[in-house]
Structure 1
């Protein structure tokens, strides 16, 4: 008989995190962040050995174990699905973290370290990236967390991992609210995207232009605009329906992306307001493009 996850947690059965994704996207950095938190990490583990790793971790009374699994593993996609199914049959639901980055960022990272992409063979780095992205497409869609590291440095990626895994959040939906500028692209890890460009832009108000959405003057200006409060009320009602649905589907992490033109004024102010009005939920707020101009 399968033991419920709550009972397993009470018995001290370790949590499992699978770190996967694109080569060069920061898998090792993410793993190091978990090691900092006391997790036991195994690099380049064949997916078929995940149940064995759980057994060993259980015997050693480890509170949390993480495995870095990538496309170098033979039979990667099929074996990973089979391994996750085997764990599920035992009442264990591993959390899958998928790291990715833009092609331009990945090319630059490989060129900086002067190493070939592991899947480029005799071709180019971009061909290797394309082949790997195709191979991982299905895994990405099934992942609990999809994290774009294009604009994150090592310290920021560690901080994001700490935010996800530093506390005991079993059964709790965690929200990441991120403001962004459309001119820099929509965050690829967004679950829900809101467009604030229907509101007047404080950029064109001389006294507000140098300020940001974190400043009271900009916040008050944005909230005073026609449609701002109506948007917040409507958006929170959408979340009242969608967030419980995400929880019922077993999703642990949801990213709400709030965008305006440059990610400096409107999106920042509204993102902060959404976080404040959601109350006591487990929320992190980040402003991806603040200071980028």
Structure 2
């Protein structure tokens, strides 16, 4: 058995083809995780055997990340059995699912001029939709879903690093994502808040070309009626929620904060909410998904 005090940790990284599994593996490796790419689920129990031995010999906290390909027909049965066995040994495997819109995936496959693995003789979109249907259940049981639709590899790396970095040993990592409704709601959002109840700085000439990260815009947004009260009520709402997540050992949560274009109100409010929710046991960070798209 694994020593519970050593807190061994394992991530199983999977998701849609083209959604960023390779980039995620590279980022995790840079963060000090021991990454194994394209491991068949049947071999996860062998990995647990090796990890048990390594832990006994080195008596230190171990962090493993396994990037798996979900297209094998027997994937689901083998993966669930392997995860159950790991829990029996004292491991706490976390399933990470990478997703993106059909539009984003089509664009990525076309840019590299490669067919989708499940495309066969059909269209590229046929392959993507077949894979999405096959993975629907797996996405529903994932511990964390990451939407990579509007992110390039560098932006994805910046989003992943605060979530999976060992720094601080926080029990819960909270991502606050600002976005523009006209670009779509983030796929990985656990909670969505709409900031369009606040006046839009876009209509203030001296603020139009600035963003919610700048002091003058942030002060304008937070001084509007209801803005500060909203931040406090979100904090109050999340007190029992985050306590429950900690009890259930859920480690990653995404809050999406939206406005029309993702430039002014959502950016300022996301920064304020993240700062308000940060505690000694909660690590919060901000991702501005659509900032700069206009």
TM-score between the two structures when normalised by the length of structure 2:
0.91
Structure 2: stretches of 5+ with no match in the other structure: none
- Tell me how far 1:3 sits from its aligned partner: 5.6
Q: CA deviation at 1:15?
A: 2.0
The answer for the alignment partner of 2:53 in structure 1 is: 59
CA contact (8 A) 1:46 1:74 kept: no
Measure how far apart 1:124 and its partner are. 1.4
- Pick which of 111-120 and 22-31 moved more: 111-120
* Native 8 Å contact 1:47 1:73 kept in 2: no
CA RMSD of aligned residues (A): 1.8
Provide the C-alpha distance between the structure 2 equivalents of 1:150 and 1:26, rounded to a whole number of angstroms: 10
Write the distance in 2 (CA, Å) between the matches of 1:277 and 1:185. 26
Separation in structure 2 between the aligned mates of residue 33 and residue 209 of structure 1, nearest angstrom: 36
> 1:89 aligns to what?
88
Distance 1:24 1:147 in 2: 13
Could you tell me how far apart the structure 2 residues matched to 1:123 and 1:218 are? 49
Partner residue in 2 for 1:129: 128
Alignment partner of 1:49 out of 35, 43, 48? 43
Q: Deviations over 1:11-39 (max 9, x none)?
A: xxx42111100011110111111222232
CA–CA distance in structure 1, aligned partners of residues 234 and 25 of structure 2: 35
Instruction: Tell me the number of residue pairs that the alignment of Structure 1 and Structure 2 aligns.
Output: 287
- For structure 1, the residue ranges without an aligned partner over 5 or more in a row are none
- Equivalent residues in 2 for 1:26-175, closer than 5 Å: 26-60=20-54, 63-167=62-166, 172-175=171-174
Cα distance change, pair 169–224 in 1 and its aligned pair in 2 (3 A) = closer
- How far apart, CA to CA, are the structure 2 residues paired with 1:265 and 1:48? 48
Q: Could you tell me which residue of structure 2 aligns to residue 275 of structure 1?
A: 274
| 1:233-290 Cα distance to aligned partner (Å, 9 max, x none) | 2111111121112222221001111111111111111111112222433111111111
Report the counterpart of residue 245 of structure 1 in structure 2. 244
Q: Given that residues 47 and 80 in structure 1 are in contact (C-alpha distance below 8 angstroms), is that contact kept between their aligned partners in structure 2?
A: yes
Q: Tell me, yes or no, if the aligned pair for 1:44 and 1:73 is still in contact at 8 Å.
A: no
The verdict on how the C-alpha distance between 1:169 and 1:129 changes in structure 2, with shifts beyond 3 A counting, is farther
Task: State how far apart, in whole Å, the 2-side matches of 1:155 and 1:118 are.
Answer: 25
Q: Which moved more, 1:265-274 or 1:275-284?
A: 275-284
Given that 2:201 and 2:208 are in contact with CA atoms closer than 8 Å, whether structure 1 keeps it comes out as yes
Query: What is the correspondence of 1:248-259 to structure 2 with a 5 Å cutoff?
Result: 248-259=247-258
